[in-house]
Structure 1
Amino acid sequence: MTIEPPLDTPDNVSHRKIIQVSLRTGPPTREELLAHYPPKFTWHQLKTFVNSGDLGLLKRDKALQKRYNAWSPGVVKEHGSLENYLINHRLQWGKPDTLSLLPSALDSDIRLKDGSISSSKSNQFLPPLPPDAPEYFKADMPFDSEFISIIQNDWPYSVPIEIEHTLIWSRVPIFHPDLIPAEVDTRIQQDGLCGFTGTNELPPSPSTLPECLPALAEWGITMEKLVRSPRGNPEIEEMVRNAGREIDGFVKRRWVEREWETAWFVNPPHFQRIQSVRGLAHIHVFAKKKD
């Protein structure tokens, strides 16, 4: 397939020049995403899905998912399991992400300065948390904390190419009783947490979701298939927002609001029981650089 590069292509290639993009295997490059996996969702639709209450609406391109399914057995063969691959190779705790083929604009300077990585094919487990580890994920955690790993999603969801999809993996809990009042615990256990930064506008109302569902047609999503809690009164909604205050504060520090707009979410705990690394939660951040 061919693509036309955007006007701001760093190598100064004319935007009228057509570039051939070969389809490789393994995690995709930015050029491959543009050429072979064009986004299914707009930024507005993405924010609507995040705010809908059903985080299962966020999808990866089906062809890219097929590519992931073909790639993962080789990783399991080399590292023993996807869990070992993540723990002993991909998650460089406390270090910048120098492994991604889809680097963040926030890491551009760091990638040039720090190319060192540690890697092991062994079945090492994460060491126990030290006594001074925080009880849960906190807004003021250093970006180079040994308890977190901030990486780009190597297999991003089907979002516009200018949207960065970042994962914040955490060795300390993200959900914690000190943060979640009993009145909203059941809801958060089902729906997870989400938030928005960098804009004064309210996020798209869940009531507008039917207008966005055509973008999910190939996944067979209908309103009847949604799994989400009903909205509560203003007091309940404030409790839910406040339960994500530590995440929201961290996101605002990392993605400064005058420069970035973000939508973030954390899958509910029952999702985390089937994720790649049991016992390690992670935060998804979709970040859009402002003009």
Structure 2
Amino acid sequence: MSTSSSVERFLSQLPSQDEIKRISPPKWTWLELKQFTDSGDLGQLKRHPDLEILCRAWSDRVCAEHGTLANFVKLRLGWNGAPPPPSGFFALDNPPDTWQFMKNSWPYCIPHEVQHTLVWTRLPILNPNKVQESMRGTIVECGMWGFAGGAEAELPARGEDTERGSTFIGTGEQAKAVRAAVAVAGADVQAFVQKHWPEDAWEVAWFVNPPRLQSIADRKVTLITLIDINIVEVVLLEKSSLSNHSEN
């Protein structure tokens, strides 16, 4: 069987949007999703248990045939056997053959009107030279994140978060320092997101999962990098739907 037909066969087994709506009712609101992101507590973002069972069974079949999920993703993206990417890190001006958009086929328990897009890149995302050495361990533990289009406006004022995010980023001045380091480390991702999702049309929250939450890696990761494919996850809500969303 050709690799292309194998990829098509597995893609045909993915759940449809209607099936996802039936299997995976929303568990969190748009505001809660943003709060999880801003707290560094990205492990809160999980699939519905029934969808997780289907995802694991599908992933097991993929791995049985292709070895790893990473191998399958590279085939799906057309990157298998591609020449090495240029040196450097993920940024706004990267060549278009180093990144691709893909809808998340196995989304979290998020509102159905919230879109969940994956930005796959062949370049490492975190440039360690942009992170103070004292903060590297924290970012490895909690990941990176940001907001665009005013998505952060509903979040509590930073001086009020006495409890929010205390497990991963601390509180008060410690939380402020972590968020400042994340903002510097994620500046290139932030610029990319703002270019591709106009802020007058979208509220956006983006994040890069820390190694402890990365399911696609096929060896131990360091910082926020995989072997040769990496992911920025983008969840977004069209502003035209915000009034209807707030009424539900």
Question: Please, what TM-score do these two structures have when normalized by structure 1?
Answer: 0.66
**Distance change >3 Å, CA 44–CA 146, structure 1 → 2:** same
**Distance change >3 Å, CA 263–CA 228, structure 1 → 2:** same
Distance, in Å, in 2 between the alignment partners of 1:146 and 1:192 is: 25
Q: Which sections of structure 1, spanning at least 5 residues, go unmatched?
A: 1-24, 94-123, 211-222
1:67-146 counterparts in 2 under 5 A? Answer: 67-89=54-76, 91-92=77-78, 124-129=80-85, 133-141=86-94, 145-146=96-97
Distance, in Å, in 1 between the alignment partners of 2:115 and 2:209 is: 18
| Residue of structure 2 in register with 1:290 after alignment | 239
Q: Which has the higher helix share?
A: 2
Q: Which amino acid aligns with 2:55?
A: Y
What is the aligned residue count? 216
1:262 aligns with 2:204: yes
1:176 aligns with 2:132: no
Q: Which amino acid aligns with 2:201?
A: E
Q: Which sections of structure 2, spanning at least 5 residues, go unmatched?
A: 1-11, 219-225, 241-248
Deviation at 1:264, TM superposition (A): 0.5
| Residue of structure 2 in register with 1:229 after alignment | 169
Name the SS of the counterpart of 1:261 in structure 2: strand
| Residue of structure 1 in register with 2:26 after alignment | 39
Deviation at 1:78, TM superposition (A): 3.8
CA root-mean-square deviation: 2.7
| Residue of structure 2 in register with 1:248 after alignment | 190
Distance, in Å, in 1 between the alignment partners of 2:40 and 2:177 is: 17
Distance, in Å, in 2 between the alignment partners of 1:255 and 1:288 is: 10
Q: Which amino acid aligns with 2:93?
A: D
Any idea what the Cα deviations from partners look like across 1:217-255, whole Å, max 9, x if unmatched? Answer: xxxxxx9xx851314275553233121110011000111
Name the SS of the counterpart of 1:228 in structure 2: helix
Q: Which amino acid aligns with 2:90?
A: F
Question: Please, what TM-score do these two structures have when normalized by structure 2?
Answer: 0.77
Any idea what the Cα deviations from partners look like across 1:44-69, whole Å, max 9, x if unmatched? Answer: 11111111122111111110000112
Pairing partner for 1:196 from 147, 168, 179: 147
259-268 or 196-205: which moved more?
A: 196-205
| Residue of structure 2 in register with 1:116 after alignment | none
Distance, in Å, in 1 between the alignment partners of 2:136 and 2:194 is: 25
